[in-house]
Amino acid sequence: NAGVTQTPKFQVLKTGQSMTLQCAQDMNHNSMYWYRQDPGMGLRLIYYSASEGTTDKGEVPNGYNVSRLNKREFSLRLESAAPSQTSVYFCASRLTLGFLRTGGDTGELFFGEGSRLTVL
Amino acid sequence: AQSVAQPEDQVNVAEGNPLTVKCTYSVSGNPYLFWYVQYPNRGLQFLLKYITGDNLVKGSYGFEAEFNKSQTSFHLKKPSALVSDSALYFCAVRDDRGSTLGRLYFGRGTQLTVWP
């Protein structure tokens, strides 16, 4: 059972280049998330997808786009990379139970191993 | 707004001694609280959660957390620390309001170092 798999694990980009971070989960989770982790800042949510076919902005969405390709996969795209996007990126997933607007789930997040991105 | 605060960037403790990693929260509504641990160059791993019920929650690796509603705290504890417990610990609160349903807000993290 692989859990949450992220690729690539490491990437170096030049300013202005584009790239896509891939994430896949094999736990049949319906919700998926992209976070970035910066020293002293904790984890900040970039985008999330509560279910297949939906995506929503998190705390720091500027400069990013996402695609929920299917239930398993949720990709994060940097269209024109900037040095401020140098960070460690984590994908996570969660099984949410019950009807979305009434909550009722208690599922914890499962994280990938992270993708370390450096923008020069 | 939902938020958590971890007042200590670092906690140092000797092996065998009890440890506490502090977390306070601010929520509107019922608090759903979580602790995660991150080992070097790894993703975050779930330790424990408080949803409702007993104020003392037991989790993985011998950790427990005490929920205190009057002090709005959710401190992580372990009776006897191990060197292998050295890691970065994150407290998180879940937002169950409207369009942000189910999002987790993380604290900045506390680096725990246990020396032999």
Whether the pLDDT of residue A42 is over 60: the answer is: yes
- Residue A26 amino acid letter: D
Q: What share of chain B in percent tops pLDDT 90? A: 72
Whether residues A42 and B49 touch (CB distance < 8 A) is answered with no
Q: Residue B29 and residue B1: Cα distance in Å, rounded?
A: 11
Min mean pLDDT across A93-102, A105-114, B54-63, B99-108 is at A93-102
How far are the Cα atoms of A43, A81, B87 from residue B39, in angstroms, in the given order? 15, 28, 5
Count CB-CB contacts under 10 A for residue A107.
17
Residues 10-29 of B with CB under 8 A from A: none
pLDDT of residue B97: 65
How close, in Å, is residue A28 to chain B by CA atoms? 17
pLDDT of residue A1: 62
As given in the structure block, the two tokens for residue A43 are: 């984890």
Whether residues B36 and A109 touch (CB distance < 8 A) is answered with yes
What confidence tens digit (pLDDT) does each residue in B45-100 have?
A: 999 999 878 899 999 899 999 999 999 999 999 999 999 999 999 999 987 666 55
Please report, for chain B, how many H helices and E strands are present, in that order: 0, 12
pLDDT of residue B52: 78
Of A88, A108, A94, the C-alpha closest to A42 is A88
